[in-house]
Amino acid sequence: MPAPALAPASLFMRLNLPRLLARYRIRCAAEGDCMAYFIVSRASGREISRDLMISLNRFSRRIEIIRFYPQFYTRPDTKFFSAASLYLMIHHFAQFFRIAEAHQVFVRTRPEIYARFYRSLLDFNFHPVFEMAGTIDLAADYVRSDIDTSMVASVPSADQHAAFMVA
């Protein structure tokens, strides 16, 4: 499998995206302005992720990370895979919806998750915009990338509806 075109990304992403994609496939399902993502092990064929959902808020011009639990911490030798998968998913989502750079990437999380994860994502430069009662809203300007996201495959249409069912 040829490596995807990663030149627009940072050195960090150029190193970690190929490692991620060598071990995992990423699939998606779209419904309205939402996209569910699934991370599947190439070795076992099993889905390892849980709750990966991004939504487009057209009114506020935001790409909203609704849920992001890729579950890499349960796998050996996956350091930085969460960052690489989020980068790929956001750019895939933006390309799918033809989003211009006048949008922001938004996520609501806990302050400790911001400190441990989102603050270190230099490709996005997340910063706090509001904090209250153990939650923090983060925003980053969306910067378009020409990264090839064609390796993100759609799930079969019969499985798409199940992707958006609330458990």
The pLDDT, as a whole number, for residue 6 is 39
Cα dihedral sign for 47, 105, 133, 166? negative
Per-residue pLDDT of the chain (167 residues; tens, 9 = 90+): 444 443 456 888 989 999 999 999 999 999 999 999 999 999 999 999 978 999 999 999 999 999 999 989 888 888 999 999 999 999 999 999 999 778 999 999 999 999 999 999 989 999 999 999 999 999 999 998 888 999 999 987 545 545 555 44
In this structure, are strands 24-31 and 34-41 parallel, antiparallel, or unpaired?
Answer: antiparallel
The pLDDT, as a whole number, for residue 149 is 93
Q: Is 84 helix (H, G, I), strand (E, B) or coil?
A: helix
The pLDDT, as a whole number, for residue 10 is 84
Q: Are 128 and 136 in contact (CB under 8 A)?
A: yes
- The domain 11-165 is classified under which CATH number: 3.40.50.980, 3.40.630.30, 3.40.50.620, 3.40.190.10? 3.40.630.30
For the chain, give every domain's residue range. 11-165
In this structure, are strands 135-141 and 127-132 parallel, antiparallel, or unpaired?
Answer: antiparallel
From the list 110, 54, 46, the residue with the least C-alpha distance to 75 is 46
Q: Is 60 helix (H, G, I), strand (E, B) or coil?
A: coil
The pLDDT, as a whole number, for residue 159 is 56
